[in-house]
A and B are shown apart, each in its own frame.
Chain A
Amino acid sequence: MRRALPLGLLLLGAGTLLALVPLSRGADDGEAITRSFTFSSDPEVAVLTITHIGGLSGGRNVYILYGDGRLRQELRTRRGDLRESSEAALSYNETRDFLEVAVAHGLLDTSPEELLAELKHPPAIVDAGTMVVEIHVTSYTRNDEEQGPVSNTLRLTAPRTEHAMNPESTPIAGMAALSEHLSRYRERLGQGGSR
């Protein structure tokens, strides 16, 4: 079982923050994986974007987390036109924690093909729509190996159901956890019942 250890932080200077995210992958491989990352604090840089693309509606529900902690929600039509938006302000710790959910689940190490390969059961859900996650960090270190700036885009249909069907998969759990993490800010975003 994966577990997160205490987090260390370093402020490197204006525009870039460093978050150290040490964690253990678990008893199956017996090897702790240490990860750290820095992310831009630029208010114009999207460090994490989560897009839900509706199945039967085709609409897009976009959550964009900027480097300065601004979380923007956009409801868009299937053609990309903006229908409504709202914003919330996250603290530095909240911004870092949000990104940590992605990093700690290995979403910077997982390719789109590898994520699909994690699906061990045949498709059995329709109209569920797809979740697209885009992550951007200014630097990423894995087991003391510097990876440089890293961007990654992953997509998964029905992440909640797939997580339930594939509980052993860390990346799938990460996709589900990211979306779940959004619920913390639902009230601040003023989400109502609409699309």
Chain B
Amino acid sequence: MRIKGCRSSWALGALSLALLLAGVEPLSAGSYYLAFTRGALSPGPDEVPPFAIMHPVGYDGSGGVLTVGICVRVGSEDLIPYVQNTIALWNALTPTTGNCENCVLWEEPVPPRSFVDTFSVLVHELGHCAMGLHHINLEEDTRAATTPRVGSCDVNDNGTCGEHTSFTANFNVTTVMSTPNPINILGDSEDVQSNGCPILQNLGNQLSPPPLQSSAATGEPVEPKTACLLGLGCPGFPETCCPPCPSLCPSLPWQLGDIAYFRIADNNPFIVDATVIDRDTYSRNDMVLPVGDNYAASANRAVGEQLGFQNSQSVMYSLLEHGTRYSSLAADDVNMVKMGMTGADRDAGTADDYTIQLAFDSACTTSDVRVQLGNTHIDPQNMTTLGVCIASIEDSFAQPAQQRFHHTLVPRLPLETQIVVELNPAILWDFAVVFLSGFETGDFSEWSDVVPPP
């Protein structure tokens, strides 16, 4: 089923033409922290290429043990057992299946109201702030009006721009085609993601700049945006296939950016096996996808069911509903972290490999990451945001301008001197249940229903 946009057979011809013109190997596509928002920025020091890997705070390219200190701010002591359990979970890096109870996708109905699982939210937020991961799924780009791109950002064509979807993560995508086989599953390997203009929908993923042919030759990702060398403008395309941008259509369309990594052998984000994760087995270059696959499969629950894994989902899916609870990590979560741990050369088993050791600090004085309940960043009137991660990124070490593979999480100065995870005190967290279930009146009859800390 086509979700939005159009596809034309002459796109294949255009691809061939583009490859001839470019004279290079075609190239393409969990994601890493800020890869979505930073990747869509205008070229400059703040922009990061889609292939960038975000490492935990303190990473400078060295091998060994990278220790990340995590504390809980005074006044938020209720969070301590949950933070400690989250630390243990990420330290173990154990891939599992069946890790998600009551997982709900964006396109599915809203479950009945219950409590929000503190542990699951912390696993997700520390997945951002401590491990350097981003969401596995595609978020419509609300900055479309100021981003030089082609087409509307309303990827799922429901009239609203800026929503989350279950498609695989990407940026600058305007068209996603998904096939019903036998039911339409968003984020599976059959999806085709592209820009709005048909001649670009393949080119966007395939072109690579001549200076980086060596990278293309090894099948490694290169910068696609800088490869838009054809100078093709929007007005030259059929309007129905190249809808006008919210503002003026740019004369030089940007390319979509693949940011989702996948296992080269099987494009299966749920497989738990002994495969060594590194540049030889794990890629975001869709030219090395298994035969028949169109795109990196996303580790959402529906794709898991399609592949034979029930109740399995990456903890980095961008929706956490009432009653949803993660008990452990999915393979995709672990693989993404392991890819980063291969170090600067992205080869496993070499001297620059590192391991991550999250450590709980009893005081926040020297901690790298601070966890808190509060309203420093979450508006007190905002009763819906569960938690946020506030961290910036910088180059891990000096790298060539167009090959900035490695970035390190850092505090967002001058706003914060530490990386911060903040949870919204307005949310009905599960740890607060006892105080709402008769604690003050002495009626403990409902206490047996309380979910204990994990």
Contact = CB atoms under 8 A, between A and B. Distances in A.
A160 B416 CA distance: 13
Interface string A106-137: 00000011001100001111111111000000
A82 B106 CA distance: 17
A60 B388 contact: no
A113 B146 contact: yes
A147 interface: no
Nearest to A112: B145
Interface in B342-390: 375-390
Most buried by B among A112, A126, A195: A126
A63 B384 contact: no
A123 B142 CA distance: 12
Interface string B98-127: 000000001001100100100001001100
Interface in A20-75: 50, 52-61, 63, 75
A188 interface: no
A123 B37 CA distance: 7
A157 interface: yes
A129 B384 contact: yes
B142 A130 contact: yes
A140 to B, nearest CB: 23
Contact of B162 (A59, A155, A193): A155
A59 to B, nearest CB: 4
Given A113-B247, A126-B34, A126-B128, A52 B382 contact: yes
A33 B74 CA distance: 45
Interface in A166-195: 176, 179-180, 182-183, 186, 191, 193-195
B381 A195 contact: no
Contacts of B328: none
A129 B426 CA distance: 14
A78 B84 CA distance: 31
Contact of A57 (B125, B386, B390): B386
Nearest to A111: B145
B392 interface: yes
A165 B109 CA distance: 37
B372 to A, nearest CB: 14
A150 interface: no
Contacts of A122: 37-38, 41, 46, 392
B377 A193 contact: no
A164 to B, nearest CB: 5
A180 B375 CA distance: 11
A61 B381 CA distance: 8
B249 interface: no
Nearest to A178: B381
A125 B385 contact: no
B390 A124 contact: yes
A161 interface: yes
Nearest to B115: A194
A3 interface: no
B146 A56 contact: no
Task: Tell me which of B106, B116, B388, B427 has the highest count of chain A C-beta atoms within 10 A of its own C-beta.
Answer: B388
A59 B110 CA distance: 10
A50 B380 CA distance: 13
Contact of A128 (B106, B146, B388, B427): B388
Give the interface size bracket for A toward B. Answer: 35 or more
A24 B425 CA distance: 37
A94 to B, nearest CB: 16
Interface stretch (B9-17, B205-213, B269-277, B317-325): B317-325
A77 interface: yes
A181 B37 CA distance: 30
A127 B38 contact: no
Interface in B386-425: 386-393, 412, 415, 425
B197 to A, nearest CB: 22
A51 to B, nearest CB: 10
Given A131-B379, A193-B432, A61 B388 contact: no
B381 A186 contact: yes
A54 B110 contact: no
Contacts of A194: 383, 426-428
A180 B378 CA distance: 11
A162 to B, nearest CB: 10
B134 interface: yes
A25 to B, nearest CB: 24
B358 to A, nearest CB: 19
A161 B385 contact: no
B164 interface: yes
B124 A56 contact: yes
A127 B385 contact: yes
B145 A56 contact: no
Interface in A78-94: 78-79, 81, 83
Contacts of B2: none
Interface centre among A54, A125, A164 (most CB of B within 10 A): A125
A193 B385 contact: no
Given A61-B384, A127-B389, A179-B381, 7 more contacts: A53-B384, A63-B381, A124-B34, A126-B33, A158-B377, A159-B379, A195-B428
Interface of B: 33-34, 37-38, 41, 46, 106, 109-110, 113, 116, 121, 124-125, 128, 134-135, 142-143, 145-146, 162, 164, 246-247, 318-321, 375-393, 412, 415, 425-428, 432
17 contacts: A52-B384, A54-B385, A55-B386, A56-B124, A57-B385, A63-B381, A81-B110, A113-B145, A122-B392, A124-B412, A129-B382, A159-B379, A160-B378, A193-B432, A194-B428, A195-B116, A195-B384
| A-B pairs, 6 with minimum CB distance | A54-B384, A59-B384, A122-B46, A123-B37, A52-B382, A129-B385
